Amino acid sequence: MDRDAAFSYRCAACNRCCRGKRIQLNPYEMARLARALEIPLDGFLRTCVEGDVYLRWNPDKSCIFLGPEGCRVHADRPLVCRLYPLGRIVNADGERFVEVTPHPETEGAYGKDGVIADYLNQQGAAPFIKAADAYYALYLRLSAAEQADDSQFVDMMDILDLEGFVAREAARRGETPPATLEGKVERHCEWLAEALSGAEERP
């Protein structure tokens, strides 16, 4: 489906969908969540993330942010949660959306009284999609370079720690860091790409 496809969905806050999902985070999403929780990124990674990039589960496989009243980080929830019950697939042909299999007892209401573009707007998905695309492009470059050279070009924490990396790099360059997190994402990707190009060119 593309953005013009008929689609609507109303969450009934039954909380059944926030269980057993592997939710991958990019550095923008990590920074937003760490800010929302008012903890430093290293603390966020230690307490809320597993496998480097996945939101941690409680022992019953519910999301670590699922509370009795629903999502405790709703305003800063990741893109996967904003898109649900859609999934977004990006490849060389562009983007497309698919419906993911819902919880069998979900109380969410599916309909056709809108289009996917409307749903993305309702969910505030735009900055998350922009960041996801920027980091995905960077990831492809990093993977290709590392496979070709069999070495790691960029430190993992420089990738994960958006705010820390941009602050350090801006100070080194004598620049003022962007005021917004979205502006920092642009600098983060731009400066990491520069670091990668420099590393690739070194003999």
Residues near ligand SF4 (CB under 6 A): 18, 21, 23, 63, 65-66, 71, 73, 77, 81
Q: Cβ closer to ligand SF4: 4 or 69?
A: 69
User: At 66, which amino acid appears?
Assistant: L
CB of 90 to ligand SF4, least distance (A): 20
Q: Where are the beta strands (DSSP E) in 1-154?
A: 6-10, 49-50, 54-55, 66-67, 70-71, 86-91, 94-99, 109-115
Minimum distance, C-beta of residue 72 to ligand SF4, in the bound complex (Å): 7
Rounded to a whole number of angstroms, the minimum distance from the CB of residue 133 to ligand SF4 is 20
> Is the CB of 50 or the CB of 155 nearer to ligand SF4?
50
We find the least distance from the C-beta atom of residue 36 to ligand SF4, in angstroms, to be 10
CA distance 132 to 196: 19
Structure tokens that stand for 172 in this block = 């080194």
State how far the Cα of 27 lies from the Cα of 156, in Å rounded to an integer: 11
Q: Which two tokens stand for residue 72?
A: 């405790």
Query: In what helix (H) or strand (E) does residue 187 lie, and over which residues does it extend?
Result: helix 181-201
Pick the closer one to ligand SF4 by CB: 37 or 199: 37
Residue 66 Cβ vs ligand SF4, minimum distance, rounded to whole Å: 4
Residue 63 or residue 154: which is nearer to ligand SF4 going by CB? 63
Measured CA to CA, the distance from residue 65 to residue 77 in angstroms comes to 9
> 54-55 and 49-50 as β-strands: parallel, antiparallel, unpaired?
antiparallel
Q: Which is nearer to ligand SF4, 20 or 111 (CB)?
A: 20
